[in-house]
Structure 1
Amino acid sequence: MTTLVDLIVVLGMFVVVPTGLALIDEPGLRRLRRHWFVAATAGAVALWLPRGAAATALASAYALATLALALHAPRRLARTRSLAPGEIAVLTALVTPAVAGTALVAERSGHQLFGFDLQILSLTVPHFHFAGFAAALVAGLVCRAARPGRAGPLAALSVPVGALLVLAGYFVDDWAELAGAVVLTAGMWLVALVTWRDLRTTTPDRTTRTLLGVSAAVLVATMLLALSWALGEATGLPHPTLAWMAATHGLGNALGFALCALLAWRRLRDEAATHSPAPSVPAPGPTATATATATATKEAGTPA
């Protein structure tokens, strides 16, 4: 299980986070993205070294990069002064990698942070790259591009709230973690619904449609697994093992949801830029991406 979890984390460090950051219109992030590969390399090497001083130092370098990313959240809030649902999701995406970075430092040093065993700390690292960063960011993007209604805003709120409730559940008990899993699952299923209903059907490019469809369909199964595990932990009912969860829920969310969704949104951004006159192409970001997507789909003759 350890090798698979480490590979999922490496995917998050090198692919998911940089791809997602390119979709956020925030001053200063471009500079951080240019140096992210160095920090990700340090974090990845730390995963494969034995626990100790060297692994801790390299993990700390990655954690500092995630902290630098988190500091953009208060700056963004001060600049935009917005707590709209989509914006809350983006702010959550900026902050959650720091949780993963902190857990990585503790686990690589062999320190049971807040009393959590090292296996839980190890699993916290991928959880807050994917259920934290990727899921919150995609929820924010989906909210901005969704048809008018409640589904988009509810998804944008329930995904970050669910992820944070799961984190709080670590400190309270298994029932609190189950409550977080229920909220997070509801949010992810709303993301899947809006993606399938509003985005996949209005996108003219076949590859982008396929990526969106896969990202939505995968969530049905992977979040059911998350619910079954959390329910089993709280009640004692039979439930999948952590190794099985890593191979199914973890791998499915990493490849099927996060990677496919972010690649689809990058294609939507690029397609919108191609269809728009160069001077009016908005900077890539949740608001700008949705605007650009609407422009592209209208020009293609489909409703946004």
Structure 2
Amino acid sequence: MSLHKDHVVRWNGISLGLGGGVWGGSVCVRLLGWTQLNDLEIVLLLALFVITPLALPFVFFQNKGPLFSKWTALVVFLQPLAAFLGGASFFLPAGPLAATFAAGWGGFTGLLALLGLVQLCQMRRRHRLSLTELCLAGALLYLPAGGAWMVLACWGLQPLGFGVHTDLLTAVHFHVIPLAALVITGLTGQALHNRPATRRGVCWAAYRIAAIGVLIDPLLVAAGMTGAQITSLPDLDTVPADLLALSLILLTLLGLRFVVPTTVSRVAQVLLTLSYLTVFFTMLVAGTYVLGVTTGAWTITIAQMIAIHGLENALLFGCCGLIGWRLRTGQESQRSRRGEPCAY
């Protein structure tokens, strides 16, 4: 099998098409009542089959080092197989067999994390730790946490008494936040950095605050959930959610102001606008949920939060946003090859 970049790009497109078909078929099967997939499993299938192949090119293809090229190509070729193994686990009864299939995906996330460490080492050798590149590398480093919690959920294990429902919620969090939020955060920062007017001053300071918040939030969520479970103090769990909401709202304002207007493709403009507005809305809902839990003034159910905060974020913010960025970067590459000036 050839590892030439053109073949890798073509295979990534095939993987994305197949993954979209598998996810759409899974949704149809669930709607027809032929399977017992729940909402969280539908979101995880979307992350495995669609969001992952959408996000990987942004993380890998910008790095042209010789050490990176063959390994990243191999990972792109392995991604569909790992997704099929992980996806099959949701159609099996919870237990060792389902966990074994899920472990196939978990091992793949470990390989991605290893490549993320290689990226960090390359940045250190260059003596340049770019915040945008840290976001893209961090997207890979967090994925094994999602893979591990997915294995636990498929096995039916409940560490620290969390429950299978919390296992799946955590697995979704550690897939969607790295693959969607962190990648889009990194790409937004690159777009801002490429504009002389926004690579410094207030705009760049605002971006740094937002990016750092999204970058450290998965760690804070893990610590907060564990602390809340052990101490029964709900505030330990809600503070990271507030931080993520404020960070993504700030990122949305920057994206709508500086990214969308400089996007040439009208389709990409619509998709990016939809993505940014979706996360703005869902983060407001998340803040409302946290405030209601803290004050007891109102209640938004977990099922409602999964539908609004989970599926909408994954489908509209993640998928639409990444597709919009692929259209934007593809058009900019064509303009660059033709010698035309970029929109910014």
TM-score (norm 1): 0.88
Worse-superposed segment, 78-87 or 182-191: 78-87
| Counterpart in the other structure of 1:282 | none
Cα distance in 2 for partners of 1:16, 1:132 equals: 10
Q: Deviating runs (4+, > 6 A) in structure 1?
A: none
2:177 paired with 1:177: no
| Counterpart in the other structure of 1:125 | 171
In structure 1, the residue corresponding to 2:38 is in which secondary structure? helix
| Counterpart in the other structure of 1:285 | none
Cα distance in 1 for partners of 2:158, 2:297 equals: 27
Q: Quick check: which has more Rg, 1 or 2?
A: 2
In the TM superposition, residue 143 of structure 1 has moved relative to its aligned partner by 1.1
In the TM superposition, residue 153 of structure 1 has moved relative to its aligned partner by 2.0
2:158 paired with 1:112: yes
In the TM superposition, residue 3 of structure 1 has moved relative to its aligned partner by 1.9
| Counterpart in the other structure of 2:145 | 99
In the TM superposition, residue 103 of structure 1 has moved relative to its aligned partner by 0.3
Higher RCO structure (Cα 8 Å, ≥6 apart): 1
Cα distance in 2 for partners of 1:71, 1:61 equals: 16
Q: Which amino acid aligns with 2:113?
A: A
Matched length: 284
- Which one of 297, 304, 310 corresponds to residue 244 of structure 1? 304
| Counterpart in the other structure of 2:100 | 57
In the TM superposition, residue 200 of structure 1 has moved relative to its aligned partner by 0.5
TM-score (norm 2): 0.78
| Counterpart in the other structure of 2:58 | 23
Query: What are the equivalent positions in structure 2 for 1:1-304 lying under 5 Å apart?
Result: 3-24=38-59, 25-26=62-63, 27=68, 28-81=71-124, 82-146=128-192, 147-148=198-199, 149-173=204-228, 174-277=234-337, 298-299=341-342, 302=343, 304=344
Cα distance in 2 for partners of 1:165, 1:83 equals: 22
Report the identity percentage.
29
Change in Cα spacing, 1:18 to 1:235, as seen in structure 2 (3 Å) is same
Change in Cα spacing, 1:177 to 1:22, as seen in structure 2 (3 Å) is same
Contact kept in structure 1, 2:37 and 2:90, CA below 8 Å: no
In the TM superposition, residue 79 of structure 1 has moved relative to its aligned partner by 0.9
- Cα deviation, 1:239-271, whole Å, max 9, x if unaligned, reads 211111111111210111111110011111211
Cα distance in 2 for partners of 1:154, 1:144 equals: 15
Cα distance in 1 for partners of 2:166, 2:104 equals: 21
Q: Which amino acid aligns with 1:38?
A: L
In the TM superposition, residue 234 of structure 1 has moved relative to its aligned partner by 4.3
Runs of 5+ unmatched residues, structure 2: 1-35, 193-197, 229-233
Contact kept in structure 2, 1:59 and 1:108, CA below 8 Å: yes
In structure 2, the residue corresponding to 1:230 is in which secondary structure? helix
In the TM superposition, residue 30 of structure 1 has moved relative to its aligned partner by 2.3
- Cα deviation, 1:212-261, whole Å, max 9, x if unaligned, reads 11011111210112223333444544321111111111121011111111
Contact kept in structure 2, 1:165 and 1:176, CA below 8 Å: no
Q: Which amino acid aligns with 1:158?
A: G
Contact kept in structure 2, 1:162 and 1:182, CA below 8 Å: no
Runs of 5+ unmatched residues, structure 1: 279-294
Cα distance in 1 for partners of 2:336, 2:219 equals: 38
